[in-house]
Amino acid sequence: MRRYAFVWLLAALLAAAPAWTQAAPKDDTLVIAYRADTPTMDPHIESSAVSNMRNRWVIQTLMHKTPEGKLVTLVAKSYKWIDPKTLEFEIRPGIKFSNGEELDAHAVKYSIERVNDPELKSRQVDRMRVVAHKDAVQVVDKYRVRVHLAFPDAGFVNRMGNVGGLVAPKFYASKEPRFLASNQLGSGPYLLKKWERDTLAEYEANPLFWDPQYPKVRRVMVKIIPEEAARVAALVKGEVDVVFDVPPAMFDRINQSGKARVVSKPGIRIFRLGFFNKHGGLFDDKRVRQAVAHAIDRNTLLNSVLKGAAGEASHVLHPFNEGWVEPAKYASPYAFDPEKTKKLLAEAGHPNGIDVDFVVEVGQYMKVKEASEVVAGMLNKAGIRTKYVALNLQGYRNFFRKHRDKPQPDFKPYIFMHSFGGGSGDDDLQLGAIASCKGAWSGWCDKAFDASLDKASSTLGEEDRHQLFFGLAKKLTEEAIVVPLYRLNATFGLSNRVDWDPRVDERIMAWEIGLK
């Protein structure tokens, strides 16, 4: 019955699509549909996956990841370590911003330092915290710049392929923040020509772009279509070319349309349960956290609501991270065992179970609402009675940040469900964001863990770093600091005119996409 209801709904959407979906794309225009928009066009403010991805269409970085995940130079012609705390980049000569300013060592210095401007209130500051001091970026000559680090950080080079977008100093220094939030100027393959927040954006090829093989398509249009069924409807009608996060229930509709196809790959986004206990409370007791871990039936979760949409995850790292170990070689130590849950709760002084808020961000990623509702049901059955709190991204951020640094009068410990992608493959970022004392999405604080993370990040030997990072990820699982749930698949819907094999990091880099 539910299947027929879905078919009826999709047919209705096809018949009565909104006005903005009616125009078919021109032959030289690639149309990409997203669930949600980037909140700002300033490349140094946000740190979300969608912002970092969209920024890169216009704003270049020193380094880059290939579609296969290999780190390569981009604006940097080369780089070398002068010593464990000094990194030198040689800049590719002849690159110009679209207003004619030259991209040289002074532009690199300005861009890195701008992230740390306190007036900017950038969410990228944590990623640049290793930069030693205000004048740590040194211009050696026109095309060479040295970055002096506060401590050795082997991941800094990798990070320069994700944040630290390079901007034109004169232009950005002369404009008001409000203007820069809606306008971009860079040296990348595209120019931002129009942006209507939460509706559409239009890009055009940059005639000054230095690499003649890109972009492959002259124009790109972005449409924001929040509803899954509406995005699929636009795809099968030929109104958009690329959609992301296609739910498995819609695979057949796309593949049988004759106009589009589904490409599904193992993704990088790890969903987990976390515990907000920075300020004390019942989750300080490891037995309570372990009780939650034993309450989750991962097999049922993967084979029911997430069937075809996700795979196993036994820790919080993914294959792009140093320290990643596949689930077949490292299984979760917490098997599904509701009776063990009840026993652990009783041992911890809660023989009648516990009552706790369960906070979830919904609407940004595929199947989150459905999966979190199943998880809530599992917790309830095991004696962990949850009050389900579903929030949009901004509401979730506000909720999480309210008590992050110090508890407010209404604070009480809670369970949260969250995901982190970390497409850059930066372990320091990945583990720091979700588990360090200052982490943007960490509900836990252990200074010994932070010290161990700093040690791993400053270790220059690759095999040694692998072992240290895996040890930290393993600790988070085994101490039940987090409860890994699943690794979301990356599922794309592509029109038949698209010539592109999606990247392994889930990111849609528009300049790499061609049309047949």
pLDDT at 2 over 70: no
Residues 93-109: tens digit of each pLDDT:
999 999 999 999 999 99
Share of the chain above pLDDT 70, in %: 95
Q: Do the beta carbons of residue 364 and residue 371 sit within 8 Å?
A: no
pTM of structure: 0.79
**Cα 253 from Cα 312, distance rounded (Å):** 26
Q: Do you find a cis peptide bond into 43, omega within 30 degrees of 0?
A: no
Token pair listed for 345: 């709760």
Alpha carbon distances (Å) from 96 to 44, 108, 184, 473, 500: 19, 13, 15, 42, 28
Q: What is the per-residue pLDDT for 7?
A: 37
Beta-strand relationship, 260-276 and 482-495:
antiparallel
Alpha carbon distances (Å) from 43 to 165, 294, 340: 6, 42, 48
pLDDT, greater one: 475 or 458: 475
- What torsion, rounded to 10 degrees, do the Cα atoms 126, 129, 135, 136 define? -130
Q: What is the per-residue pLDDT for 12?
A: 38
| pLDDT band of 461, cuts 50, 70, 90 | confident
Specify the residue for token string 């740390």. 116
**Cα 199 from Cα 279, distance rounded (Å):** 40
DSSP string, 447-509: HHHHHHHHHHHH---HHHHHHHHHHHHHHHHHTTSEEEEEEEEEEEEEETTEE----TT----
**Cα 221 from Cα 198, distance rounded (Å):** 13
**Cα 167 from Cα 348, distance rounded (Å):** 54
What sign does the CA torsion over 293, 295, 298, 304 have? negative
Q: What is the per-residue pLDDT for 473?
A: 97
The whole-number average pLDDT for the span 468-480 is: 97
| pLDDT band of 22, cuts 50, 70, 90 | very low
Residues 331-360: tens digit of each pLDDT:
999 999 999 999 999 999 999 999 999 999
> Which of 30, 162, 29, 141 is CA-nearest to residue 90?
141
Q: Do the beta carbons of residue 76 and residue 129 sit within 8 Å?
A: no
In degrees, to the nearest 5, what angle opens at C-alpha 56 toward C-alphas 22 and 90? 160
Specify the residue for token string 């506060």. 150
